Amino acid sequence: MRRLLVFLLAAAGPLFSHVGSPDVFYEGAAGPYRLLVTIRPPQVVPGVAEIEILSDSGDAGSIRVAPLRFMAGKRFSPVPDILQRSKQDPNFFTGSVWLMSTGSWKVLIEVEGAAGRGELAVPVPALSTRVLGMQMGLALVLIPLGLVLAVGAASIVAASVREAQLPPGELPSPQRVRRSRTILRATLAGLSLVLWLGNTWWKAEAGDYSRIVYKPLEFRPEVQGDVLRLRLKDPGWLNRRVDDLLPDHGHLMHLYVVRKPDMDQAWHLHPEPDGESDSFTQNLPAMAAGEFALYGDIVHANGLAETATGSLTLPAALQGRPLTGDDAASDTPTAYRLVWEKTAPRIRARQPYEYRFRLVDGQGQDARDVEFYMGMPGHAAFVKRDGTVFAHVHPSGSVPAAAMGLANPENPHVMHMMGAATLPAQVTFPYGLPTAGAYRLFVQMKHGGEIVTGMFNIDVEN
């Protein structure tokens, strides 16, 4: 009964490892097969995760999938389910798996075909984010029906007391009538008590379930001089820790600072721990006075990725310090620029697209000295203008490298491009925006030791 109640109550809102972006996108290799994987986590836990896989080549004969707890080995895998091949596109496969409990999971993907056998595991967060109330339409149907049943049951009890033992044709005495009315009132009172107790139990169970509902980490920022101190605030969710973070692309935290409301400036920074388990510090660059949105990506040792959020207000401009290392700003002067090579005339919500960009010099020629930027050809941040969506995406998709490496221990370089002496001037990000609306996109590539940031607008349709 408790599991059934959880199933009925919990519905996932869009707050997982990224803000407002629940779906998982990954593009990479399962052995000899290149796959674009889309996983839509369930709206309730336990629940069904929907899976879509597009194979780049036509030699994938069959694809099987199985859910696993994130740290579990393959020998604990249930019997895999076979994905269905689309009749319209033989390279497109769909299916689903059950995720039975809250926390970090991975979907094991096995491909067999003309090129042999390939295997890949993609991390998936199984989280519920809100308690779902009864739909208004359903309430308008069930509440009147419940009242009719209660009154009907009380009327039947009263009628049985008044007339059940009377001979045919005999009218009930005034005493029987009075007694039946007393029984009617007592029955209605008893049924009302039962309904009240049921409602109280329901609220208690819903309150108890709130400890399972996902609550994202928050920032408590404080600026002293030109140093930003960020303290992670845990609003209380299960037994979450903040001292178990893993480096992702060489950093424990990737912090995006975006100026509000115009989103005309952004910084990609990497705060360092300051000796306390829940606190980080960052030297700030020169910044004008104003209000800024904070988005901090972290990855836990169990593979769960989170984005802590907050806001920062600077009452006066900061002189700041020059950026160093992997830190980058959108307003850094450069002769190079990023060009968006659009592959679709319109972008729709919840549909995966390849966002393709090219790094060119002042004459429009491809950059020849492109470098890896923190182990990737590029980084992108998708931010909705109203602040409800943030996603840090790589050319391999929305899965953090640290989580992907843990999920594939036999292939620790699964997230990286290997064997390339030089990088092309083009980078592609597979991703699907979760909701319609206006977005701001920040893209970064690196060449000759210089990080270039491009800013673009996206209008997403339903």
Q: What is the CATH number of the domain that holds 351?
A: 2.60.40.10
Domain boundary, last residue among 156, 181, 209:
209
* Burial group, residue 426, by CB count within 10 angstroms (0-12, 13-18, 19+): middle
**Token pair listed for 146:** 């419940």
How many whole angstroms from its chain centre is CA 279? 24
User: Is residue 349 located within the same domain as residue 441?
Assistant: yes
Q: Specify the number of domains making up the chain.
A: 4
Same domain, 345 and 281: no
Q: Which secondary structure element, helix H or strand E, spans residue 227, and what is its range?
A: strand 227-233
pLDDT value at residue 421: 59
Count CA within 13 A, CB hemisphere, residue 29.
Answer: 12
Angle between the N-to-C axes of helices 136-163 and 174-209, in degrees from 0 to 180, rounded to the nearest 10: 150
Measure Cα distances from 111 to 95, 97, 108, 362, 390 in Å: 14, 16, 10, 45, 32
- Shared domain check, 436 and 337: yes
Among candidate residues 406, 461, 9, the one with its CA nearest the CA of residue 201: 9
Given a contact cutoff of 8 angstroms between Cβ atoms, the answer to whether 49 and 67 are in contact is yes
Q: Which residue in 202, 198, 200, 196 sits closest to 134, CA to CA? A: 202
| Tokens standing for residue 307 | 């984005």
Residues 6 or more apart whose Cβ sits within 8 Å of residue 427: 356, 357, 358, 359, 377, 378, 395, 443, 445
Same domain? For 124 and 141 the reply is: no
Domain boundary among 84, 104, 129: 129
Q: What is the pLDDT along the chain (462 residues), one digit of tens a residue?
A: 333 333 333 333 334 568 989 999 999 999 999 999 999 998 778 889 999 999 987 789 999 999 999 988 887 788 999 999 999 999 999 999 999 998 899 999 999 999 999 999 999 999 887 666 667 887 778 888 888 888 888 888 888 888 877 888 788 888 888 888 898 899 889 888 988 888 888 788 777 767 778 888 999 999 999 999 999 999 888 788 899 999 999 999 999 999 999 999 999 999 999 988 899 999 999 999 999 999 999 999 999 999 999 999 999 999 999 999 999 999 999 999 999 999 888 999 999 999 999 999 999 999 999 999 999 999 999 999 999 999 999 999 999 999 999 999 877 556 555 445 579 999 999 999 999 999 999 999 999 999 999 999 999 999
Predicted local distance difference test score (pLDDT) of residue 179: 87
Do 172 and 255 lie in one domain? The reply is no
Tokens for 269, please give them.
Answer: 């920074």
Q: Rounded to an integer, what distance in angstroms lies between the CA atom of residue 332 and that of residue 343?
A: 28
Q: Which of 325, 349, 368 is the last residue of a domain?
A: 325
**Dihedral through CA 28, CA 51, CA 211, CA 209, nearest 10?**
-170
As given in the structure block, the two tokens for residue 236 are 């209380």
> In angstroms, rounded to a whole number, what is the distance separating the alpha carbons of residues 381 and 369?
23
154 and 102 part of one domain? no
Do residues 152 and 86 both lie within one domain? no
Mark whether 142 and 122 lie in a shared domain: no
Provide the pLDDT for residue 148. Answer: 83
CB 362 within 8 A of CB 334: no
Q: How far is 114 from 284, CA to CA, in rounded Å? A: 54
Residues 267 and 314 in one domain: yes
Q: Give the SS3 label for residue 252.
A: coil
**β-bridge pairing 227-233 and 370-371:** unpaired
- Range(s) of the domain holding residue 340: 332-462
Q: Are 274 and 267 in contact (CB under 8 A)?
A: no
Structure confidence at residue 14 (pLDDT): 39
Domain with residue 300: its CATH number is 2.60.40.1220
Q: Are residues 45 and 101 in the same domain?
A: yes
Rounded to whole angstroms, how far apart are CA atoms 357 and 27? Answer: 17
368 & 278 share domain: no
d(CA 329, CA 324): 11
Quote the pTM value. Answer: 0.84
Supply 418's token pair. 């290997």
